[in-house]
Amino acid sequence: MSFIVSRSLIVAVASVLLAMITIQSGASIAKQLFPVIGPEGTTALRLGFSALVLWIVFRPWRALPQGRDWRAIIIYGLCLGGMNILFYLAIARIPLGIGVALEFTGPLAVALFSSRRKRDLIWVGFAIAGILLLLPDMHGVNALDPIGVLFALAAGACWAGYILFGKKTNTQASGGITVAFGMTVAAAFLVPIGAISQGMVLLSWEVLPLGFLVGILSSAIPYSLEMVALRNMTSQNFSVFMSMEPAIAAVAGFLILAELLTVWQWLAIALVIVASLGSSLTSSQAKQPETT
């Protein structure tokens, strides 16, 4: 029995780690497309291909939303699209690891604001300290683009909306079906913008394969892997591992994009990770029933 549990845990850990690696690898490849088709064009290809793959895999037409569910799904999809385009606009100006760390303030804010315990202010302090360390020094050699910082924080706000409205969608439908509809809404909104801004270059054979790869790595594969992980580990353990994503993003940025971070920037990322990790652990403990 212990062997089975251990094997399941190994599968879960491997799945969540691979999910984070693939999504950050996809972001790194996407950033290399920016000089050719810009963040807008890259977002259009990612969302378009992701929606196509999700429709093939999950066949959402079998569980069409009913009534008021459409409103939640449309807002959910708009938040998903906003999160994607704003994040790409951010990492076009700032390093990948820093962009992910700043974007993490969105789900972190949702977790902390939903808590009524004063001790969670500790994690707010860690997050604020991390953000303050990342505030751009306009006279420094390693200054961050302030517009990029704002885009990343705005992406985090959209991520928060994505979480909140995702919970309001039809709970009887599978998560994959909900994401498929949301991705379709996002694609319907942003693919035309990308097409107008970049034109026929989006359909060039030099760009399309990379766009498809970004869509697969950034959405289809990691989402499937996360579903495997959640079936084999608790939500608490899943959240703990996901807290490491800013660090994985920073490593991916270094290995694929040769992005070098300062010691202070690494410290800032570490503070955001600690805030996310602490929030995940304490929120899970609060949900456990008291025993006598």
What pTM was computed for the model?
0.84
Contact 18, 242 (CB under 8 A): no
User: Where is 120: in which H helix or E strand?
Assistant: none
What is the rounded CA–CA span in Å between residue 212 and residue 214?
Answer: 5
What pLDDT digit, counting tens, does each position of 203-254 carry? Answer: 888 899 999 999 999 887 887 787 777 677 766 677 677 778 888 889 888 8
Q: For 244-281, write each residue's pLDDT tens digit.
A: 888 888 988 888 888 888 888 888 888 888 887 777 66
Q: What is the pLDDT of residue 9?
A: 73
Considering only residues 4 and 12, tell me which one the structure prediction assigns the higher pLDDT.
Answer: 12
pLDDT in tens, 140-197: 556 788 899 999 999 999 988 888 887 777 555 566 788 888 899 999 999 999 999 8
Give which of 215, 225, 289 is closest to 25, Cα–Cα: 215
pLDDT at 289: 43
Sign of the CA dihedral with 175 first, then 284, 152, and 140 last? negative
Report helix, strand or coil for 49: helix
| 1: pLDDT strictly greater than 70 | no
What is the structure's pLDDT at 170? 58
User: Mean pLDDT score of the chain, rounded to an integer?
Assistant: 82
Q: Which of 6-15, 133-142, 180-189 has the lowest mean pLDDT?
A: 133-142
CA distances from residue 183 to 43, 70, 197 in whole angstroms, order as listed: 12, 13, 20
Query: Each residue of 75-92: pLDDT tens digit?
Result: 989 999 999 999 999 999
Q: How far apart are CA 159 and CA 200, in angstroms?
A: 30
pLDDT of residue 47: 94
Helix ranges (H only) for 92-244 are: 96-103, 105-113, 121-134, 146-166, 175-198, 208-215, 221-232, 235-242
Q: What are phi and psi of 30, to 5 degrees?
A: -60, -40
Check residue 173 and give its pLDDT: 57
The tokens of 188 are what? 């319907």
